[in-house]
Amino acid sequence: MNLRAIGCNVASAPVGVRERLAFNAEKTQKALAELNSRFAAEAVILDTCNRVEIYLSRQETVAPLHIPLMAEFLSEVHGVAPAEIVPHLYEHADSAAARHLFRVASGLDSVVLGEGQIAGQVKDAYESAHKSTATGPLLNVLFPTALRVSKRVRTETGIAHGHVSVSSAAVDFVRQVFDTFTDKTVVVIGAGKMGRLTLKHLAELEPAAILVTNRNADRATAVARECGGTVVPWAQLDDALVRADIVLSTTGAPEPIVSAGRFDERVRPQRAGRPLVVFDMAVPRDFDARIHDGDAVSVFNVDDLAREADRSMGERKRHLSSAERIVESEVEKFVAEWNRRANGPVIGQLTAEVDRVRDSVLSPLLDKLNGKLTSKDKDNIEAAFRLFQNRLLHGPIAALREASSEGHSGGLREALRKLFRLKG
């Protein structure tokens, strides 16, 4: 199959590493093109606040791509030394890579078990790669299958029941800080998908005001319209932070937009010790972590929210085993179907070639014995040759199918092509 999933997630790499490996749209397109051209690989890049993963497929006749090579590639893309990347990367091969993607799309590998946003992110990652012609035969089957598996898991189990998510965890945090919200001001900076979902939860608390700011004024206007908020010019961000009680930030900027120095000089003195809760859901982070003082100002990143949400996962975990069974059955079906597609041409060519050899031997023999055999004799001879052929082919075909079930039939397919001089 020659399929690999290589990357890091919240379990293998801290946010400080993940933010340095994050892909924006421009980097994603360049990286996909490079993976196609340099490695002759189909590719999809999945980048979320909790993971950076590259899914790769190559022809079975070439060497698979492994962690060291991908670490070098990521180093080129992001300017991070390979030695800083390798310890945080994991690799899944062939059926294990398919299993990993199915689990990811189904929310089984998320910090918040069963969260539904990841399926949309998987869909977006695949569609972006497909639109860029970075995908091919295998990934064009694998990713739609993963999305179908995700739907099965969500509809056939209770893994997605309840309101446990990173977004709802944010609401749990503010409720620990504030008793009432009708006098509070929420400031929204940027507006990524997760940010909008979190804003929806915060808006349900009916704060006194929601202020929206964005470098792009049109986007700020669109978000403000959705939540009934007021647009604040980007140049007035500091003033908005002074007024804020709750901040939600998801800009996707390559470096912090609010440094510790800026906050301490322009914002903190004017707040007079009023409590402030900052939800920095961007990766890379928008707020310098040093702004958090453990007293008046609390800064939470996505990892903090994930840990909070995990405390309420008991009910969903009850459905994990049934969800895993669905994933496992779908992996078996996917591998079997893919190998059937891959093995079919070779088995067809092999059968046709042996048919040709049999006929090249049998026809002259029957011509030579013409007039000396009855019709029944001819039928018996032809049947004996066919039986010999079937028994001869049974071993190679059975071995090929067994290797397919174990996920490593590519080498045997190539061996059969060479042994029987089949055209590739």
For 368-391, write each residue's pLDDT tens digit. Answer: 888 888 989 888 998 899 898 888
**H-helix or E-strand spanning residue 53:** strand 51-57
pLDDT at res. 342: 72
Confidence of residue 262 (pLDDT cuts 50, 70, 90): very high
- 281 annotated as ligand-binding: no
Q: What type of residue sits at position 36?
A: N
323 and 55 Cβ atoms separated by less than 8 Å: no
Is 121 part of any known ligand binding site?
yes
Nearest to 397 by CA among 333, 346, 327: 346
Long-range contacts of 22-29 (CB under 8 A, 24+ apart): 22/47, 22/52, 22/283, 22/284, 23/47, 23/52, 23/77, 24/252, 24/254, 25/128, 27/77, 27/78, 28/128, 29/128, 29/132
pLDDT at position 341: 76
Which of these is catalytic: 15, 49, 65, 267?
Answer: 49
> Is residue 28 marked as binding?
no
Domain at 3-161, CATH class: alpha beta
Q: Is 227 a catalytic residue?
A: no
pLDDT for 308: 74
CA distances from 259 to 238, 240, 293 (A): 12, 15, 14
Residue 202: the pLDDT is 84
Flag the least confident range among 88-102, 240-254, 257-271.
Answer: 240-254
Mean pLDDT of all residues in 343-356: 79
Residue 300, sorted as left (phi over 0), alpha (psi -120 to 50) or beta, turns out to be: beta
The DSSP bridge pattern shows strands 51-57 and 3-9 to be: antiparallel
d(CA 273, CA 242): 11
At 60 the pLDDT is 76
Beta carbons of 300 and 280 less than 8 angstroms apart: yes
- Is 49 one of the annotated binding-site residues? yes
pLDDT of residue 399: 80
Give kind and range of the element (H or E) at residue 412.
helix 410-419
Residue type, 279: F
| Residue 11's pLDDT band (cuts 50, 70, 90) | very high
Give the CA radius of gyration of the chain: 29
Q: Within a 10 A sphere around the Cβ of 254, how many other Cβ atoms?
A: 12
| Of residues 322, 405, 323, the one with CA closest to residue 103 | 323
> Average pLDDT, whole number, for the chain?
89
The answer to the question of whether 16 is labelled as a binding residue is no
The CA distance from 349 to 346, in Å, is 5
pLDDT of 329 higher than 90? yes
Pairing label, strands 42-47, 51-57: antiparallel
Q: Is the dihedral of CA 191, 193, 195, 201 positive or negative?
A: positive
pLDDT at 257: 95
Q: What tens digit of pLDDT does each residue of 97-116 get?
A: 999 999 999 999 987 788 88
- Does residue 44 contact residue 103 with C-beta atoms inside 8 Å? no
Closest CA to 267 of 296, 229, 230, 295: 296
Is 41 one of the annotated binding-site residues? Answer: no
Whole-number Å distance between alpha carbons of 267 and 299: 14
Which letter does DSSP use for residue 215 in this model? S
Tell me: is residue 250 an annotated ligand-binding position: no
Q: Is 128 annotated for ligand binding?
A: no
- Name the residue with higher pLDDT: 96 or 205: 96
**114 marked as part of a ligand binding site:** no
Mean pLDDT along residues 143-153: 97
Q: Is 312 annotated as a binding residue?
A: no
CATH 3.40.50.720 domain position(s) in the chain = 166-314
**pLDDT tens-digit series, residues 20-35:** 999 999 999 999 999 9
Judge whether 177 and 275 are in contact, CB under 8 Å.
yes
Is residue 195 marked as binding?
yes
* Residue 10 to residue 305: CA distance in whole angstroms: 12
Tens digit of pLDDT for each residue in 400-410?
777 766 656 66
The residue ranking higher by pLDDT, 367 or 46, is: 46
Report which of residues 164 and 213 the model is more confident about. 213
Give the Cα separation of 248 and 186 in Å (integer). 7
Where in the sequence of the chain do the CATH 3.30.460.30 domains occur?
A: 3-161
Q: Is 411 annotated as a binding residue?
A: no
Reported confidence tier of residue 161, pLDDT bands at 50, 70, 90: confident
Q: Which long-range contacts (CB under 8 A, 24 or more apart) does 38-44 make?
A: 39/65, 39/69, 41/65, 42/134, 42/135, 42/136, 42/137, 42/138, 42/139, 43/129, 43/134, 43/135, 43/139, 44/125, 44/126, 44/129, 44/134, 44/135, 44/139, 44/143
Strand, coil or helix: 311? coil
110 assigned binding-site residue: yes
Helix (H) or strand (E) holding 91: strand 90-93
CATH of 166-314 given 3.30.430.20, 3.40.47.10, 3.30.70.20, 3.40.50.720: 3.40.50.720
Residue 245 pLDDT exceeds 90? yes
In whole angstroms, what is the distance from residue 148 CA to residue 119 CA? 10
The residues, any chain, with a CB within 8 Å of residue 312's CB and separated by 6 or more, are 162, 164
Per the omega criterion (within 30 degrees of 0), is the bond before 207 cis? no
